[in-house]
Amino acid sequence: MSDGNPGLLSPISGSGGALSAGSDTHRYVLTDASVASFHTRLTQTTWTQGEFETPLAKCMCALFLALDPAMEISKVMDALPRRGAPVDTLDILNAMANAGYESRQAKVRIGEIDPRLLPCLFVGDNDNQDPAPGFVILDQRMPGSEQELEVYDGQSGSVRRLAADDPMLSRPGTAYFCQRFSVDTPDLPKSSNPRFAEPTWFRTTLSRFRSTFGWLIAVGVVLNIVALATPITVMLVYDRVISPQSLEPLPMLTVGLIAAITLEWRLRRLRSSALSWLTARLDYVVGVSLFERLVLLSPSFVERAAVSAQVARVKTFESVRDFFSGPVFLAVLELPTVAISLLLIAYLAGAIAFVPIVIAVLYVVLFATVRLFVKGAIREAATHTSVTQQFSIETFEKMEAIRTQGLQDRWNAKYRQLSAREHVALARLHFLGAVGESLGHGLSVLAAVATLTIGVHMIWAGQITVGVLIATMILVFRALMPFYSLCQMIPRFEQTRNSVAQINELMDLEPEMRYEAASARLTKVEGSIAFRNVAMRYARDAGPVFYGLNAVVNPGEVVAIRGASGSGKSTILKLVQSLYAPFSGAIILDGMDIRQLAVRDVRRLVAYLPQEPHLLNGTIADNLRIVRPLADDQHLWEALRRAGAAKQVAGLPQSINTRVDDSEHLAADPALRHRIALARALVQKSSILLIDEIPNSLMAAGLGNTIADLIGEARGRQTMFYVTHRTDHARLADKVITLRPGSLATVESIHMLKEKAA
């Protein structure tokens, strides 16, 4: 087991099996001690509550070890279920999914489980005498002539062997079989990058639901055929009941109509249920994929956009979801069935069939014409809406500064101006939508008038009856309804198209971790860093932030970074942590170009305190263990002591288990929050520590002394970079990097600075 956990699994001689380690002569076998040790380590860190001392929790530990004896324990920590409630079967399945295992279940008896599917989790059916037991079925072997089954019993916390005649083999329950997700699944979404001439990401995602779409179209065809019963019944009532004044056919027609209406209602209900499922499923799949892609993008790309833009990206699919759940998608589904109504019109009324055909062509022309104007209006409205949203977010972020500087009137005037532009653009968009809807309604009236005019002449000529004309009117409206619906929703249709294009563009962006498998892997760092002619600019068409940075930092040296605002001080720290890539030059970490290293390894092994640290929802202990999940309480308190926060945290109502999102003490004390973030960096126990600029108010409140103490502790033992404006702190460094906006970076030793000062 990795992460310093020797002895969890014991190798023994024997044939290969469910726990084969890739050799025919050795395999790893689960032992009572291995699961107990695994479970104990988890309860000492993340699982701090008694609810996890349950048989199913122990079974989950056993299942993890049985599936992959070499699984990194940090990966297990990331996959663990929620806390605050006893672990149940769903929690185990979720944890398996988070760790990369899909699961299938089957109602079986223990003795009926196919040994080729082992290992698996088995949860027995509950009865009045015994609670539902949990087992991990490990292996099946043939000692002598009798079959024997090896299981881990969560109730007793031990590995047992069940003989062929053991009554437990007949115990009924549910078996959960886990296997790794396939990486070659053909229906997984692919990149829509046009360089590779692949289908768009969204189209590929929709292809996963092609059977559902086929089913919806088939139901639509049947539904439209059944719906023909209404106009046919109306025609027969006029021709067979009203005209001859005979009630004899009426009961049969009534029964048939009721049956058709009932069947149509059932079919529409089925289609609505399928559409609801499809919409919810697409919302989940696309929403999760978008969020995941944003998280995996390079920080240098994500940080260019404002918070409002990032939120808008996540919410992009809402318009697409509304499309699939609204009348526009239903109209699209109905388009293939228009031919059914046209064929029946041609059969009943002959030449009248040309009326809906001509009107349908006019609808298409109207749709294309109005859409040209709507495209420009949507772009303009989206631009003004985005600007207004960003201005609103900036207002709330800088509310205190606005009040302090007395800018309320100017800010209100600016907002009125932006809001006016936004609403004018939206008004134009709504006007164009209303034009399309009104003209579409006019075409439907024209279709009705034309049908009546031609139909009346045909009645006078004796070619059709009144009943046929009425039925034809119903069929004409039914045939034109999809086209009318599309013209009603032209803005919505265009918004959906734009949203899909934005989704495809976002999914085309290469994730930061894409080529990590081919990168060199780091297990530890010594702390040697070299900057070789490093230059940085934030965009290709922008000027350099700084250039010509050349420096060699040996392990254990302390480096201060100084410079004016905007000169790139924080950028240097982000370059070291591989959050940014240099525009030119190279950064060498322990003799290797940092661009050749897996970025997750670099960030995991380099401790970093950002300029504006954030604490995540959860307890103080949770926030500290984010960087080192297996750290025990002693290590946490030591980091808090070094950060100068131990006494304050100990005085909180729940000490280290105080929730940062509910504590008034933390909300009212920014210095304490900063110290906790500093402690989080110290918990990481890295050979490289990066500390960004700390506000002067916090430095004056005691953090300055804490940083000075950390500098003294780090010298000779830990490579340390820190951003500072204070001369006394700069004098504590071995080297000082001085930056000037758009200028050559200079590197001087502290001895050179002292000589200049003298």
> What is the CATH architecture assignment of 10-180?
Alpha-Beta Complex (3.90)
pLDDT of residue 536 exceeding 50, the answer is yes
pLDDT in tens, 31-88: 888 888 888 777 766 555 555 677 888 888 888 888 887 777 667 777 776 555 677 8
Please give the pLDDT value at position 309: 63
Q: Give how far Cα 37 sits from Cα of 120, 587, 596, Å.
A: 21, 41, 37
Residue 350, phi-psi category: left (phi > 0), alpha (psi -120 to 50), beta (remainder) = left
- 643 in Cβ contact with 682 (< 8 Å): yes
Question: Which secondary-structure segment (H or E) carries 94?
Answer: helix 89-98
Concatenate the DSSP letters of all residues of 418-445 into one string. HHHHHHHHHHHHHHHHHHHHHHHHHHHH
pLDDT of residue 450 exceeding 90, the answer is yes
pLDDT of residue 120 exceeding 70, the answer is yes
Give the SS3 label for residue 148. Answer: strand
Q: How far apart are the C-alpha atoms of 142 and 161, rounded to whole Å?
A: 12
- 579: which DSSP letter? S
pLDDT band (50, 70, 90) for residue 427: very high
Strand order, beta sheet including 746-749: 606-609, 688-691, 719-723, 558-563, 735-739, 746-749
Q: How many CB atoms lie within 10 A of CB 708?
A: 14
Least confident of 48-52, 347-351, 378-382: 48-52
* Closest by CA position to 376, among listed 493, 494, 505, 500: 494
* Closest by CA position to 316, among listed 133, 536, 497: 497
Least confident of 28-32, 79-83, 273-277: 79-83
In this structure, which amino acid lies at residue 745?
A
Please give the pLDDT value at position 445: 92
Our measurement of the distance from residue 332's CA atom to the centroid of its chain's CA atoms, rounded to an integer in Å, reads: 29
- 676 in Cβ contact with 649 (< 8 Å): yes
> What is the CATH architecture assignment of 521-757?
3-Layer(aba) Sandwich (3.40)
pLDDT band (50, 70, 90) for residue 741: confident
Give the SS3 label for residue 109. Answer: strand
- 87 in Cβ contact with 52 (< 8 Å): yes
* Closest by CA position to 73, among listed 735, 631, 742, 653: 631
Q: How far apart are the C-alpha atoms of 284 and 437, rounded to whole Å?
A: 32
- Residue 499 tokens read as 């949203």
For strands 735-739 and 558-563, give the pairing. parallel
- 700: which DSSP letter? I
| Domain over 201-508 is classified CATH 3.10.20.30 | no
Our measurement of the distance from residue 747's CA atom to the centroid of its chain's CA atoms, rounded to an integer in Å, reads: 43
- Ranges of beta strands (E only) in 282-422 are none
For strands 148-153 and 134-141, give the pairing. antiparallel
Q: How many CB atoms lie within 10 A of CB 173?
A: 18
Q: How far apart are the C-alpha atoms of 25 and 152, rounded to whole Å?
A: 23
pLDDT of residue 750 exceeding 50, the answer is yes
Q: How far apart are the C-alpha atoms of 56 and 60, rounded to whole Å?
A: 6
pLDDT band (50, 70, 90) for residue 685: confident
Alpha helices in 112-248 (DSSP H): 201-207, 210-227, 229-236
Q: How far apart are the C-alpha atoms of 42 and 335, rounded to whole Å?
A: 58
Q: How far apart are the C-alpha atoms of 592 and 586, rounded to whole Å?
A: 10
* Alpha-carbon torsion, ordered 143, 149, 154, 157, to 10 deg: 0
Q: How far apart are the C-alpha atoms of 134 and 202, rounded to whole Å?
A: 42
- Residue 283 tokens read as 């919302």
pLDDT band (50, 70, 90) for residue 620: confident
Give the SS3 label for residue 121. Answer: strand
pLDDT in tens, 225-264: 888 888 888 888 888 888 777 788 888 888 888 998 899 8
Q: Is the pTM of this model over 0.75?
A: no
* Alpha-carbon torsion, ordered 330, 332, 333, 339, to 10 deg: 120
Question: Which secondary-structure segment (H or E) carries 588?
Answer: strand 584-589
In this structure, which amino acid lies at residue 32?
D
- 542: which DSSP letter? S
- Residue 266 tokens read as 């059932």
3-state SS, one letter per residue, for 369-420: HHHHHHHHHHHHHHHHHHHHHHHHHHHHHCHHHHHHCCCHHHHHHHHHHHHH
In this structure, which amino acid lies at residue 85?
A
For strands 592-593 and 746-749, give the pairing. unpaired
Please give the pLDDT value at position 16: 32
Residue 150, phi-psi category: left (phi > 0), alpha (psi -120 to 50), beta (remainder) = beta
Question: What Rg, from alpha-carbon coordinates, does the chain have?
Answer: 35
* Closest by CA position to 433, among listed 487, 391, 498, 473: 487
Q: Give how far Cα 526 sits from Cα of 321, 508, 520, 592, 718, Å.
A: 51, 37, 16, 12, 9
- 716 in Cβ contact with 634 (< 8 Å): no
Q: Per-domain residue ranges for the chain?
A: 10-180, 201-508, 521-757
Please give the pLDDT value at position 312: 64
- 461: which DSSP letter? T
pLDDT in tens, 507-516: 887 777 665 5
In this structure, which amino acid lies at residue 647?
K
Residue 461 has, within 13 A of its CA and on its CB side, a CA count of 10
Mean pLDDT of 198-205: 78
- Residue 745 tokens read as 């970076």
pLDDT in tens, 384-416: 887 887 788 778 777 877 888 888 888 888 989
Looking up tokens 């860190």 gives: 45
pLDDT of residue 522 exceeding 80, the answer is no
Burial (CB < 10 A; 0-12, 13-18, 19+), residue 210, is: exposed
Percent of all residues in the chain with a pLDDT value above 70, rounded to a whole number? 84
